[in-house]
Chains A and B, each alone.
Chain A
Amino acid sequence: MAQVISLPLSKEEIAVLQRKHVLVIDDFANVRKSIKGMLHTIGIKKVVEANSANQAIVAMRENHFDVVICDYNLGPGRDGQQLLEEVRFNNTLSFRTVYVMITAETSRDMVMGAIEFQPDDYLAKPFAFDTLKQRIVRWFLRQKTMDKLFLALDNKNHEKIIEQASLVINKEPRFKVFAQKKAIEAYIALEQCETPLKMIKEINGDREQSWTKIYLAQIALIQNKMDDAVDILKESIDKDPNLIGAYDLLSECYLKKHDDKRAQDVLQKGVQRSPRNIVRQKNLGELSLKLDDMITASKAFKEVVSLSDQTMHDSPDNNENLVRSLKAQLDLMEDENPEKRKLLLEVQSQLKSFSTKYKGNDSVRLFCKVFQYKIENSTSDKDKSNVMDGFLEKALMNADEISVDLGEEIAQLLFEDERYKDVDQLIHTLKENHKGETKILEKLDAIQAEPVDKVQREKAQKLNVLACKQYEEKSFEKSSDTFNQALKISPRHPGMILNYIQSRMQSVNKEDHPIKVVNNCMEYAERLNYLEKDHYQYQRYINIVNKLKQYQKKYHE
């Protein structure tokens, strides 16, 4: 039977309280003082204060606390939820410590984060002395009842967790649900399916508990029953839209099924429910980039950038992705669109805060320079300045340190300046750096073949398709003309160059000066000097060059 908590406390209980160690985190000194005062009156003398997440982490590294009382809102920097996530993630926070979140909200979903990072208790602000006192007693009862279970959780010893959790389940109904969850999680970690399935069946006997659904889906995934997992998750979201973990897991399922669009949809719904979870926002952003949904991508990365400030998720990658998605949106906008100016200002301000934040970081500086230049040049017709030159030279000298993504941007700039040799040199260096990484090497090949931005690439692709159709219809004059238009946009694309040459040669015997045409085609072919033997167009290229050489002999006047 459940233990009844009664106040006032006995002498023994007060003696126990005196040994307890509590950390109070709030950015307001008077709030900390007030809570500390209450704790003193209750009998807890060992109280440490922290005014920020950073201070809290230092304190938590140095001491073991029985209770951490943390305000959700900690001013600039990390909030209480992000702090919890971080200390739980890097094992600074023991399960034996009770983590309590103070919130000013009347509903809990405002602070709802990922399911695995729930605080042990919530306290609504402002709370009275009696409330704190009664909760303190409850927290220590919790600590006492489940101490061995917490130890097993800290050690990630799944067998021990199962053993200790079942003791709690039978002993104290107050903590039964918590212990059930931990036992099921341990079974799942051990990839044992039968026992947790039985447990869940029993739990759902009287009434279906929505939290069991995520576990059921996880078990289905262990058993390779992907479709079952999808059905379970879909149904449980329908029934309980607050079951936030279900969105993440469902999205993962769709990704595994290569259904990126659905995966994105589900993530978007999860983000609507719980917008402050950084990992979810980041996943949504990356997936949207992949799907070329730049509006969703930039929205998500904007959240990531602002939420992750000073957290463990803080990284220049987030800012880069934000700038990239904004720039892509800008490229797709017609010049007449009145929104374009607004967007332009936004990219510029993002670039500015990005470079300020990572002052002294060379690769960030280069990234910002490259994009600043690109944005300026994409929106005005003024003469291209050589502002970049100094930076580009420096970058090329340190090409080892350039990421593939930034390499692509730089290759495009070099290409616009017709510095083909530099493009090839850069790609070569990057390839050397990523030897054996097939996917990256393929990407680098594609960049080398077509170092223009996505919008241009698509334009060229469309023309290429049209030209192929004209070629099939044997309208060679038309097809040559269209291929040539495509090559004006994407001049180094092997497929398009070889198509153009083939098309041009079809009508060469009707020309007044065929040798001129052949020589011209040869010039185009020379653009493909960079092709290496293992390139899939290499053989075709060699064949066509040989044929051109024959023609040169034939038409030699």
Chain B
Amino acid sequence: MNDHNNLDLALIMASIVHDVKNSLGLIQHQVESMVPQLHDKNPEIAVQLQQLSLEAGRINHGLIHMLGLYRLKEGMLSPCDDECFLMDVLDDVRTKFISSLEVLKIEFTVDQHDPDMIWNFDQTMVDGILSNVITNAIRYTKSKLMLSTYEENGYLVIQIKDDGDGYPENMIQYVQPQTQMNYQTGSTGLGLYFSSQIAQMHQVGDKRGYIELSNDKQTGGAIFRLFLP
């Protein structure tokens, strides 16, 4: 019998992805740490490096999503039900992008309706969703990112809005069925698919989390909303 048939291919792929992700994380970190050194001497290269680092970050998110989907399929992914102090969670996400935003001259505002808000969710998972959205938004926005949170009908809403050209129509459509992937659109939407899966895993009674994409009626910028019960 051929021994290769017995290999758990998915597990091996997952292990490889895991290693690649960690190496890539180190590369991104190293590139990132070079930016402040070049900031004054050669601002142009600093901007390019920053973009390089963001791109590495995008790949990294992709790998994290692959791993996450593997664990989802194996039933090994279930959210931790933590009471999170929202201000700190948002702060953690924002802090990761401080230097990118500065170098790329993007203004980032945070508007939290209730600064004392404590809400139940898996902090690592939500951090992942928001970081992924912001990484993409930085690429497509013109000059601004607006993060805001509020409570609506028993849901915590975390919204990220930019002033770019907005989501293409097919992407807005895409999130609706939430179970199908469209490889034709150029973007696989893997990140969004994963985000909506994670959101759905957050459940209270019969209320489930979800995500919603739209474009701002006035500015046309993209709006991402995460709803957590």
The interface of chain A, by Cβ under 8 A from chain B, is: 1-2, 4-5, 104, 106-109, 124-131, 134, 138, 173-174, 176-177, 207, 209-211, 240-242
Contacts and interface: CB of A to CB of B under 8 A. Distances in A.
B175 to A, nearest CB: 23
A366 B125 CA distance: 53
Given A126-B28, A128-B32, A174 B85 contact: yes
B67 A2 contact: no
Contact of A177 (B22, B81, B99, B118): B118
Given A109-B80, A128-B32, A173 B91 contact: no
B165 interface: no
B149 to A, nearest CB: 14
Given A106-B67, A126-B28, A129-B33, A138 B83 contact: no
Given A128-B32, A128-B33, 8 more contacts: A2-B87, A2-B115, A104-B22, A131-B95, A177-B83, A209-B120, A211-B83, A242-B79
B68 interface: yes
Contact of B29 (A5, A126, A211, A241): A126
Contacts of A177: 83, 85, 118
Contacts of B116: 1-2, 173
A408 B118 CA distance: 59
A359 B225 CA distance: 63
A131 B85 contact: no
Interface residues on B, range: 35 or more
B96 A126 contact: no
B88 A108 contact: no
A262 B124 CA distance: 33
Contact of A126 (B26, B85, B98): B26
B81 A106 contact: no
Contacts of A2: 85, 87, 115-116
A132 B80 CA distance: 24
12 contacts: A2-B85, A4-B87, A106-B64, A106-B128, A107-B125, A108-B124, A128-B96, A129-B36, A131-B95, A176-B118, A207-B120, A209-B81
Given A1-B116, A108-B124, A131 B92 contact: yes
Nearest to B127: A124
Interface of B: 21-22, 25-26, 28-29, 32-33, 36, 64, 67-68, 71, 77-81, 83, 85, 87-88, 91-92, 95-96, 98-99, 115-116, 118, 120, 124-125, 128, 204
Contact of A173 (B71, B85, B125): B85
B95 A4 contact: no
B78 A128 contact: no
B96 A130 contact: yes
Nearest to A133: B95
Given A106-B64, A125-B25, A242 B80 contact: yes
B26 A4 contact: no
Contacts of A108: 80, 124
Majority secondary structure, B binding face: helix
Nearest to A5: B91
Per CB-CB distance, the 3 closest pairs between chain A and chain B, nearest first, are: A126-B29, A173-B116, A130-B98
Contacts of B25: 104, 125-126
A129 B34 CA distance: 12
A124 B123 CA distance: 12
Contacts of A241: 78
Contact of B81 (A5, A128, A134, A240): A240
B81 A138 contact: no
A130 B28 contact: no
Contacts of A4: 87, 115
Contacts of B87: 2, 4, 174
A241 B78 CA distance: 8
A242 B121 CA distance: 13
A210 B121 CA distance: 12
Nearest to A123: B92
Given A130-B96, A131-B96, A106 B124 contact: yes
A127 B98 CA distance: 12
B88 to A, nearest CB: 7
B26, B32, B92 — which one has the most chain A CB atoms within 10 A of its CB?
A: B92
B69 to A, nearest CB: 12
Nearest to B79: A242
Given A131-B96, A134-B95, A173 B118 contact: yes
A177 B123 CA distance: 15
A2 B116 CA distance: 6
A107 B71 contact: yes
A108 B79 CA distance: 10
Contacts of A125: 25
Contacts of A128: 29, 32-33, 95-96, 98-99
Contacts of B29: 126-128
B85 A107 contact: no
Nearest to A108: B124
A131 B128 CA distance: 15
Contacts of B33: 128-129
B117 to A, nearest CB: 8
Contacts of B128: 106
A124 B26 CA distance: 12
A175 B96 CA distance: 23
A240 B202 CA distance: 11
Nearest to A130: B98
A129 B33 CA distance: 8
A242 B124 CA distance: 14
A1, A108, A211 — which one has the most chain B CB atoms within 10 A of its CB?
A: A108
Contacts of B120: 207, 209
A106 B21 CA distance: 10
Nearest to B27: A126
Contacts of B118: 173, 176-177
A226 to B, nearest CB: 26
Nearest to B204: A207
Contacts of A1: 115-116
Contacts of B71: 107
A210 B22 contact: no
A170 to B, nearest CB: 12
Nearest to A177: B83
A113 B87 CA distance: 27
B74 to A, nearest CB: 12
